[in-house]
A and B are shown apart, each in its own frame.
Chain A
Amino acid sequence: MPESTGQSGVIVFDNVSKFYGDVLGVNRVNLSIPPGVTSLVGPNGSGKTTLMNLMTGLVQPTAGRISVRGVAPSQPELLFGFTGYCTQFDSFPKGLTGFQYVYSWLRLSGRPHAEAESMAWAAIDTVNLREAAVRKVAAYSKGMRQRIKLAQSIAHNPSVLVLDEPLNGLDPLVRAETIALFREQARAGRHVILSSHVLQEVDAISDQVVLLAGGYVVAEGQIRGVRSEIQDHPMQILIRCDKPGALAARVFQQDHVVEARIHADRRGLLIKTRDPEQFYLLLNQIALNGIEIESVAPADDDVNSVYEYLIGSEEATK
């Protein structure tokens, strides 16, 4: 069976470009995506879906080379033995029930009836759709359609799961369960590549992010690493302490501190620094000099802030 291939390795984009006629999809993308949850983040038209379609062979690169755990996307017979793709396309083969949709896909992969049937029910149970599975997909709500697509993409226990806006239309309970499922897949050493507009969720789920804007990769890697490389925006740090005024007076003597603002509840200080490492060293000294520090936490090293700094500014300049 095809599952025997592609069990290790990374997903590689080697100088990949994709043009739709004159329209740019993505340009000169170089990525090496390790196992874990990787989120593709970017505004509409930034190239997220194009990247996913490229790595699953639905579109071919105009230039460059792609390899998914050592397999080229032009070999679907190998690739989809270990890859599942939950697309944004909201259309299904006509006349199928939810069960038939998942079951038929498993039969297409060459599995015998009994195996396909049990795997289909297992996947349907995972997305909590057993009762509705005997109904036609055409009669499903948006959330149910999203869940049956998800069931189909995970039915064969893929080691690479590509999910285009997978949480769209899901209710909070299923959303939480789905996120837990992604984390579980990642812990098992599998690739989970997803795109989402909900940055809080991306922050909670992702091991690494790929930020895209206008068809270009703006940044990639672990979110804190990406944040520390953004020099234009000083790092924000929130310090909870008993004497925020005294602390403000002390830190303002430092050149790298560009702003210090006492928190609204007067029990903390929000500072902006160009050199976080120097600042943390300073805090150690301050702690020894009579100011009781309760907690220190970065305030803008989440996806939301990184997105705002890297892509928000690009959007604004357009």
Chain B
Amino acid sequence: MISLWSRQILAVLRLEMRKTFFARRGLWIYLLALAPVVLFAAHSIDVMQQRAQRQQRAAACSFSPERMAEIKPGMTREQVIAMLGQPAHRDMRRRRREAHEFLWYSDAQTDFIIHLTGGEVTGINRRESSNLSEDSLVFAGVFQFFYLRLAVFFGCLGVFMNLFRGELLDKSLHFYFLAPVRREVVLAGKFLAGLIATVLIFSLSTVLQLWALSWHFDSNSIQQYLWQGNGAHHVAAYIGVTALACIGYGSVLLAAGIFFRNPIVPAALVLIWESANWILPAALKKISIIFYLQSLSPIVAPAGYNVPPPLALLASTAAATPAYLAITGLLLMSLVVLTIAALKLRRLEINYSTD
């Protein structure tokens, strides 16, 4: 029996993979997965350009960074230049009828921008070159608050929701229902097809994002991060979390496609619930997929990441669930949802005129 079911699942996979990967209407899913890669690549290009400019500025001025500590507010432009030498670059701006002047010094790693108002020093701004730990935190924020909640969610919506609902709308689901195959086996085959497609697309995107983010670092730093630091573990964890997100959201959205004639409404409710997770009380947080995915992420992004300060006050925290519990819980939840969906599928009627 297992052998028969395996052959039938493979037959479903063969039919579904073609539709999932090469459907023209699925092009937006690839674009969605590619969006953060483009974002991080743009960031890397910007960092590399800034680095080149910083090196130009460092070459244009010769100063000792230690002396920067001696610059105090109230000092005049002439005093500053006497201590540090001529700046690499000067900016002049007028704001509220006051002249603001910015003197740029650089040591190739850090830009020092001395702010003078009315000819006197009012502040020093340091702009450091991008570093791995800072970029890791940025990645964690984008991954947890944009990638998982929006890109992976909508990608799964596009793939899993259409596995049954799409065929009902295309009036072609009877092809499966008129074959000597258990409907549960059809569901398993279709879910696996959706899972393979989404895990491949979004895991590849995760890897490409990490590559794009680290593009501007030299290969030594990358090697060190990967093999002597936590880099390899982080990459594996992010891929694992992406796969679990596909399993979790995939099962819920597949079930929505079976249960609801217009599954967009329940999908929107799930999205709102998942997006509002950061302000929910600890007990409610745990009734969501994103909470467990965040628990499994190797770097915890601050709650309310990228949220304006007044709203950030609403953010609440809950203790992360241990990895083994989070993984088991997510897999069990998916299994339960798929079992309920299979029971419904067993009773599903083909009545295209009403769908």
Q: Which A residues lie at the B interface, using CB under 8 A?
A: 2, 20, 53, 56-60, 74, 76-81, 85, 87, 89, 91-95, 104-105, 107-110, 112
- Flag if B177 contacts A77 (CB, 8 Å): no
**Distance between Cα atoms of A172 and B343 in the complex (Å):** 45
- Flag if A87 contacts B174 (CB, 8 Å): yes
Q: Which residues of A contact B347 (CB under 8 A)?
A: 60
- Flag if B180 contacts A78 (CB, 8 Å): yes
Main secondary structure, interface of A, reads: loop
Check B92 for interface membership: any CB of A closer than 8 A: no
- Could you name 6 residue pairs across A and B whose Cβ atoms are closer than 8 Å? A58-B349, A60-B347, A78-B180, A104-B14, A108-B181, A109-B181
Determine, out of B5-13, B29-37, B111-119, B315-323, the stretch whose residues face the partner at the interface.
B5-13
- Flag if B180 contacts A93 (CB, 8 Å): no
A20 in complex: contacting residue of B10, B171, B350, B354, CB < 8 Å: B354
Q: Which residues of B contact A53 (CB under 8 A)?
A: 350
Check B72 for interface membership: any CB of A closer than 8 A: no
- Flag if B180 contacts A2 (CB, 8 Å): yes
**Distance between Cα atoms of A59 and B173 in the complex (Å):** 13
Check B178 for interface membership: any CB of A closer than 8 A: yes
Q: Which residues of A contact B174 (CB under 8 A)?
A: 58, 87, 89
**Distance between Cα atoms of A109 and B5 in the complex (Å):** 9
Residue of A nearest to B183 (CB): A76
Q: Which residues of B contact A105 (CB under 8 A)?
A: 175, 179
Check B182 for interface membership: any CB of A closer than 8 A: yes
A93 in complex: contacting residue of B4, B172, B354, CB < 8 Å: B172
Check B52 for interface membership: any CB of A closer than 8 A: no
Residue of B nearest to A94 (CB): B19
- Flag if A108 contacts B176 (CB, 8 Å): yes
Q: Which residues of B contact A109 (CB under 8 A)?
A: 8, 179-181
**Distance between Cα atoms of A20 and B181 in the complex (Å):** 26
- Flag if A89 contacts B352 (CB, 8 Å): yes
Check B18 for interface membership: any CB of A closer than 8 A: yes
**Distance between Cα atoms of A7 and B176 in the complex (Å):** 23
Check B351 for interface membership: any CB of A closer than 8 A: yes
Check B170 for interface membership: any CB of A closer than 8 A: yes
- Flag if B180 contacts A107 (CB, 8 Å): no
Check B75 for interface membership: any CB of A closer than 8 A: no
Q: Which residues of B contact A58 (CB under 8 A)?
A: 174, 177-178, 349-350
Most chain B beta carbons < 10 A, residue from A74, A76, A81, A87: A76
Q: Which B residues lie at the A interface, using CB under 8 A?
A: 4, 7-8, 10-12, 14-15, 18-19, 22-23, 167, 170-172, 174-183, 185, 346-347, 349-352, 354
**Distance between Cα atoms of A220 and B160 in the complex (Å):** 46
A95-B19, A107-B14 given; A57·B177 CB < 8 A: yes
Q: Which residues of A contact B18 (CB under 8 A)?
A: 95
Q: Which residues of B contact A56 (CB under 8 A)?
A: 178
- Flag if A93 contacts B183 (CB, 8 Å): no
- Flag if A59 contacts B350 (CB, 8 Å): yes
Q: Which residues of A contact B177 (CB under 8 A)?
A: 57-58, 76
- Flag if B171 contacts A91 (CB, 8 Å): yes
Residue of B nearest to A3 (CB): B180
Q: Which residues of B contact A108 (CB under 8 A)?
A: 8, 11-12, 15, 176, 179-181
Q: Which residues of B contact A107 (CB under 8 A)?
A: 7, 10-11, 14
**Distance between Cα atoms of A314 and B81 in the complex (Å):** 108
- Flag if B12 contacts A59 (CB, 8 Å): no
Q: Which residues of B contact A57 (CB under 8 A)?
A: 177
A108-B8, A108-B12 given; A94·B172 CB < 8 A: yes
- Flag if B4 contacts A60 (CB, 8 Å): no
**Distance between Cα atoms of A87 and B179 in the complex (Å):** 13
A89 in complex: contacting residue of B23, B171, B346, B354, CB < 8 Å: B171
- Flag if B180 contacts A59 (CB, 8 Å): no
Closest 9 CB pairs of A and B: A80-B180, A107-B11, A91-B171, A108-B179, A58-B350, A81-B180, A59-B349, A110-B4, A108-B11
**Distance between Cα atoms of A93 and B168 in the complex (Å):** 11
The minimal Cβ–Cβ distance linking A18 to chain B, given in whole angstroms, is 10
- Flag if A80 contacts B15 (CB, 8 Å): no
Residue of A nearest to B176 (CB): A108
Residue of A nearest to B346 (CB): A74
Q: Which residues of B contact A91 (CB under 8 A)?
A: 170-172
**Distance between Cα atoms of A83 and B10 in the complex (Å):** 23
- Flag if B4 contacts A94 (CB, 8 Å): no
Q: Which residues of A contact B14 (CB under 8 A)?
A: 104, 107
**Distance between Cα atoms of A85 and B181 in the complex (Å):** 14
Q: Which residues of B contact A93 (CB under 8 A)?
A: 15, 19, 167, 172, 175
- Flag if A104 contacts B11 (CB, 8 Å): yes
Residue of B nearest to A77 (CB): B182
The minimal Cβ–Cβ distance linking B138 to chain A, given in whole angstroms, is 41
Given A58-B350, A76-B182, 9 more pairs with CB closer than 8 A: A59-B351, A76-B177, A77-B180, A85-B178, A91-B172, A94-B19, A95-B22, A109-B179, A110-B181
- Flag if B179 contacts A76 (CB, 8 Å): yes
Q: Which residues of A contact B180 (CB under 8 A)?
A: 2, 76-81, 108-110
Q: Which residues of B contact A76 (CB under 8 A)?
A: 177-183
- Flag if B172 contacts A92 (CB, 8 Å): yes
Residue of B nearest to A85 (CB): B178
**Distance between Cα atoms of A76 and B167 in the complex (Å):** 19
Q: Which residues of B contact A112 (CB under 8 A)?
A: 7
Most chain B beta carbons < 10 A, residue from A20, A58, A79: A58
